[in-house]
Amino acid sequence: MTLLTDDIRRCIGAQVTYPASEPIGAASPRYYAMAVRDENPAFWDDAAARAAGLPGCVAPTTFVVDCNFYARGAADESGYFGHQWDIPGGPWQVIRGGNDYQFARPIVATDRISVSFTLSDIEEKAARQGGSQLMLTSLIVYRADDRVEVARNTETIFLRKAPST
């Protein structure tokens, strides 16, 4: 039996955009830098950032793709509150497959970042443990309030049928 049904194929090309609701602010990038133990003074010292040729304090590079600052509402049953595709035929076990990041410019405290997700492709693949799984490829584009692309992420997610309890 194939997992890749016509209903699932119709999901290819789905798009959703989460508009920015507020500026990033100075504290969140600084806290993120502390959490990942990056002591670069450009994340907390305006003078050091300017001396390095930056416009002022900036966020660590991966801040924009790691933080679900666009998320609204409650977390799901696993504690995740970011974007997930609603793929028919579930329940699904979600396994992260990888990310290919590209960064265009640093994030500053005044940026309002909107995030657009496009479900680019879905393929059925053999699972190492036997059986089949779905491989979803999504393009995620992060734009500052000036509509300038600041980063993009091509993300791969695998979906396996969740074990029945």
**How much is the pTM?**
0.89
CATH assignment of 6-22+72-161, among 3.10.129.10, 3.30.300.20, 3.90.209.20, 3.90.1170.50: 3.10.129.10
Supply 15's token pair.
């798009």
Q: Any bridge partners for residue 47, and if so which?
A: none
- pLDDT at res. 122: 98
Q: Are 80 and 139 a contacting pair, CB within 8 Å?
A: no
Q: How would you write the pLDDT of the chain (165 residues) with one tens digit per residue?
A: 799 999 999 999 999 999 988 899 999 999 999 999 999 999 999 999 999 999 999 999 999 998 877 777 777 777 777 788 999 998 999 999 999 999 999 999 999 999 999 999 999 999 988 889 999 999 999 999 868 999 999 999 999 998 875
User: Can you give the residue ranges of every domain in the chain?
Assistant: 6-22+72-161
CB burial of 21-57 (b: ≥16 within 10 Å; e: otherwise) equals: eeebebebbbebbeeeeeeeebbbeeeebeeeeeeeb
